Amino acid sequence: MPSVTTLAVFAAAALALLLVPGPAVVYIVTRSVAQGRSAGLVSVAGVHTGSAVHVVAAALGLSALLAASATAFTLVKYLGAAYLVWLGLRKLLSRPGGEAERVTRPASRPRLFTEGFVVNVLNPKTAIFFLAFLPQFADPARGPVAAQIALLGAIWIVLGMASDGTYALLSAALAGRLRRSATATRRLDVASGLVYLGLGAVAALAGDGPRKA
């Protein structure tokens, strides 16, 4: 299993990315603003049920990839790092308001849950995090890679439910003020872009990733 230090570094990196507003956060915030905190929290539950799909896919896929080819494993890491950098540049160069036009019609709880699930299963931010960052923390010398990734994924889900739940509660409470603020949106874009660039740089410069024992 990963060391305590490794787990702490992973948790910090995961939290940094989770706090960056992406498709899942935008969905949660818009539902919370439109329908209140219970709708936001149901959306959070759906989103992180979708996260579990990414955890299972990463545990099976990265383990198989590592077993097949250490070179391919490293290539996936660098492609993921490049994608994170691209996301950062897109955020820095984006115009405010582009992501705010999201679903606002009232929906039932099953629909909120299902839509949250689909939003995160199809969320490139979540998928790329697992592909770009998990290779840095999975070490075959410390045990089965699949078990390590499952543990890291569980940490991601716990942190994600906490951070997204906070977004849901705050946005429901501040619904009136949150609807229109071009300045706040632009600041979020800049902060998001810098976080993506930082994570991409760390992923690219973190070495050669896991090596076969």
Q: What distance separates the 2 farthest-apart alpha carbons in the chain?
A: 56
The whole-angstrom distance between residue 33's C-alpha and the CA centroid of its chain comes to 21
Domain count, the chain: 1
Residue 154 is assigned to a structural domain of this protein:
yes
User: Over 60: is that where the pLDDT of 102 sits?
Assistant: no
Residue 213 is assigned to a structural domain of this protein:
no
Task: Work out the pLDDT band at 73, boundaries 50, 70, 90.
Answer: low
User: For residue 164, what are the domain limits?
Assistant: 4-205
Residue 107 is assigned to a structural domain of this protein:
yes
Residue 44 is assigned to a structural domain of this protein:
yes
CB-based contact 88:189 (threshold 8 Å): no
Please give the model's pTM, rounded to 2 decimal places.
0.66
Distance in angstroms (rounded) separating the CA atoms of residues 159 and 161: 6
Residue 189 is assigned to a structural domain of this protein:
yes
pLDDT digits (tens, 9 = 90+) for 163-188: 999 999 998 888 756 555 566 556 66
Residue 149 is assigned to a structural domain of this protein:
yes
Residue 37 is assigned to a structural domain of this protein:
yes
pLDDT digits (tens, 9 = 90+) for 113-130: 998 898 888 776 677 677
Please compute the mean of the pLDDT values over residues 39-57 and round it to a whole number: 91
Percent of the chain with pLDDT over 70: 65
Residue 178 is assigned to a structural domain of this protein:
yes
Characterize 14-32 residue by residue with b for buried, 16 or more Cβ atoms within 10 angstroms of its Cβ, and e for exposed. Answer: beebbbbbbbbbbbbbbbb
Sequence-ordered alpha helix ranges (H) in the chain: 4-18, 23-35, 37-68, 70-93, 109-121, 124-137, 145-173, 175-178, 182-205
